[in-house]
Amino acid sequence: MQTLSEIRTILAERGLRPKKSLGQNFLHDQNQLRRLLEAAGVGPGDLVLEVGPGTGTLTEALLERGCEVIACELDRDLAGILEDRLGDRITLIRDDCLADQRTLATAVEEALSGRGFKLVSNLPYGAASPLMSLLAARRDCLGQWVTIQREVADRLVAQPGSKAYGSLSLFIGAVATVKRIAILPPSCFWPAPKVDSAIVSILPLEQPLVEDPEAFGTFLHGLFSRRRKQLGTILGRDANFPAGVEPTMRPEELPVSEMVELHRLNRDSA
């Protein structure tokens, strides 16, 4: 794996520095990189999507384990480094991983070509929530093992009634299970961010709790855009409520099972 000194040298040879505008914080702690790889359990023949590969530290480790890697890098300068260092050993996509909040970029879809894959990445903070939500609802995504901002990890595992609990907690909870594997201090990255990060795993449920995740996500967005309002006010006088759920309750009070049932009872009028 590349050391911090090697990452600095690779960039310096091209007159480059990490770009704050793209949220570039390179994970260089090799113990944490190994922890990420071991949690993912990747090996020969696995198809891995890596978003934000940077200089290729994790990419090279994935290749050493025999994985087929699709690397998606938005920064043209870093994409050039990856191409020079790894050439045809990877499928390199020089683009945003997302076409929009609900769709993968066409080039990524074409590279995946309907095959089962794993997401293993040190995710750029700006892409984390929409990408994780999108992939959690896809049956061809076999799991996600990522480093993300600790605040986002807290939202993923939050419980009803807590400040962090919201639409992301509920959506992911309806289609997947989440485990927080480790907390990473800023010193694990270069440049060091101002916040802690976390390694999490997101594994798809064998049987999702919702038939139409996109419709459920839209329903949640509608509720949490007015989260300070009571459910009865948001949904209207004709709304139907599951047993135990009162119109005076607020969206953040409902556990996943009750929110799924609330959606089911009101989806035709939503």
Domains in the chain: ranges and CATH: 4-204 (3.40.50.150), 213-266 (1.10.8.100)
* Residues in a beta bridge with 70: 49, 91
Pick from 221, 263, 219, 227: nearest CA to 245: 263
pLDDT higher than threshold 70 for residue 129: yes
Cβ-based burial of 232 (10 A; exposed 0-12, middle 13-18, buried ≥19): middle
Q: How far apart are the first and last CA of the chain?
A: 50
Identify the residue whose tokens are 């061809």: 140
Give the pLDDT band of residue 227 (cuts 50, 70, 90): confident
The arithmetic mean of pLDDT across residues 2-19, rounded, is 97
Q: Locate 214 and state its tokens.
A: 């996109």
Residue/partner pairs of 235-243 with CB below 8 Å, 24 or more apart = 235/266, 238/269, 239/265, 239/266, 239/269, 240/265, 240/266, 241/265
Q: Is 238 left (phi over 0), alpha (psi -120 to 50) or beta?
A: alpha
Global pTM reads 0.95
CB 66 within 8 A of CB 60: no
Q: Determine the pLDDT at residue 269.
A: 60
The arithmetic mean of pLDDT across residues 226-234, rounded, is 94
The arithmetic mean of pLDDT across residues 197-211, rounded, is 97
pLDDT higher than threshold 90 for residue 101: no
Mean per-residue pLDDT over the chain, rounded = 96
CA atoms of 241 and 76, how far apart (whole Å): 51
pLDDT higher than threshold 60 for residue 158: yes
% of the chain exceeding 90 in pLDDT: 94
Pick from 172, 179, 169, 180: nearest CA to 133: 172
Number of alpha helices (DSSP H) and beta strands (DSSP E) in the chain: 11, 11
